[in-house]
Each structure stands twice: as structure tokens, then as C-alpha cells.
A = this chain, B = another copy of it.
């Protein structure tokens, strides 16, 4: 019951329904030294909306459970609600309820429902050998933003944009809606890093993959950080919330055109194979061993 896709597919009635839940914990998933309440509210909502989008779904309603230390200020709660409602407005979904409790640290659970945009929801498990592997937007920006926050670099220019990628991520809801017009065979959002999430996708699908690391779209703002290993950030950095999907190869170009219409790039980075799992010259496992979980908790 705890494995597989982030979002549950419910078919008790017509139409089917998607249901997901996401837990964010202070000190694990965010650090109040870098994030204000608004950032946390925004990100909690975005993470769940991204889970629904990754099923090729349209999020519609959310409920929020909030555990707060007794020392929490009213200002913090106001900021949290502003961030939460700002994200809800951006993706046109309704926050319809919640629950409060005291807690020793800030904990936020956002649970969300949505409807599938395709007759059959897109799972992680549908990739077939020969499909193209595609990803929206660019990768590594959120991880670079976290590094910048930790370094205390001024939040201006490129660094400011990277920090926003970390604090105020974008759920690819509009992009999921466009992708619904194509034969998307599998999809996942990049929350734990390309290597880890592609690993989930090929594991669940029982297939292999070959990714050309020169094709991986790297967040252009990372170029402003001279010490950054840009490819490593793009392959292992989490929380970009881009959509990683597999598509029938003859549809990749048309899908890229459709996403271009909403201002988002769709990049083909590789191919689904029967066996073997590589990004560039390294295996997925090699990349995973220095992945996001490792980076984040250093």
C-alpha cells in the first residue's frame, strides 16, 4: 500500500478520482532558517499538485493538516496561509478544510484530490522499450538554490532565481494538461532527482533506460555558480518538480510543440530499453548513491 505511484487512483464511481497526500517536516523537508511560512505553505501545496499532475491529472481540492509548536507566531501562520492560498490560486484549486494540532516541530500534510485528464491515469509503470524519455523545463535549479541559501549568497540575479526555484517551486499542471493529448505511457514528477525518479519509473515498468547526459536540460542560472557541478545537480538534485515522462517516439516532437504553446520546453533525453540503466557513462545506481537524499541531509 505504500509503494508505487504518489497518487492513488480511485474508481469507486464514474469519473475516476485521484487522491494524494504529502508530509513536510521541519528540519527534514525544510529549514526555517531559509524558509518563511509563505514558502512552506506554497511548497506544500505545490508538491501535492505536482503529484496529481504526474498522473496526468488536474488537481481540484486540498485539505491541510498543520502541526505547530506553541511558540509559532501569528505572523508565521498568516504568511503560511498567504503562501498556501497563493499557490492554490496559481493552480486554480480550492483549499476546502484542515486540521490543527500543537506539535514539537512544524509539520504540514497536504492531501489533494483531482481528476485524471486521460481515460486511463498515467502511472509510473507503463513505459515500454522504444519509448522516448522526456522531461519538462530544466533541472538542478532547486538544488542549486538550496546550496545558495546555505552559503548565504545574496538573493539577486541568477542566484535569486535559483532560490525561488527552491522556495517557490512550480507544479507542472498546465503541462500535464497538454501532455494528456498524447500517448504518455508513464510519468513521474522529479522530486527526489532525475536519477532516483527515473529509477522509480523504470523499476515500476520493468524496463531499462539510456539517457544521453549531454541532452539533460540544466537550469541555465546554475552557470552563475562557478563552483557548481551543474550536471550532477541536474541529475541528482531534487525538488524541481518537473515532469519526467515516456512517450511514443513519433509523438515527442508534437508534444514538445504543444508544451511550447504554454511556454515550457519538453526535452527528449533518452530512450526506454529492455535492460540496462544508464545516464551518460554511469549507471542509475552510481548516480543514486550520491543523489538527493544524500545531498540534502549533509
Contact = CB atoms under 8 A, between A and B. Distances in A.
Interface residues on A, range: 35 or more
A17 interface: yes
Contacts of A66: 23
A188 interface: no
Interface stretch (A95-103, A193-201, A283-291): A95-103
A21 B111 contact: yes
A247 B182 CA distance: 53
B101 A24 contact: yes
Contacts of A113: 10, 17, 19, 113
B21 A65 contact: yes
A112 to B, nearest CB: 9
A19 B61 contact: yes
Interface in A10-29: 10, 12-13, 15, 17, 19-25, 27-29
Per assembly, the copies of the chain total 2
Interface stretch (A1-9, A35-43, A145-153, A220-228): A1-9
A25 B61 contact: no
B100 A2 contact: yes
Interface in A229-282: none
A105 interface: yes
Interface in A69-96: 95-96
Contacts of A115: 12-13
A218 interface: no
A8 B96 contact: yes
Nearest to A60: B12
Contacts of A5: 97
A67 interface: yes
A97 B113 CA distance: 12
A109 interface: yes
A111 B63 contact: yes
Given A25-B67, A63-B111, A111-B63, A17 B20 contact: no
21 contacts: A2-B97, A2-B98, A6-B97, A9-B96, A10-B60, A10-B61, A12-B115, A17-B17, A19-B96, A20-B97, A21-B63, A21-B64, A23-B65, A23-B100, A23-B101, A25-B67, A25-B104, A27-B104, A63-B111, A104-B105, A107-B107
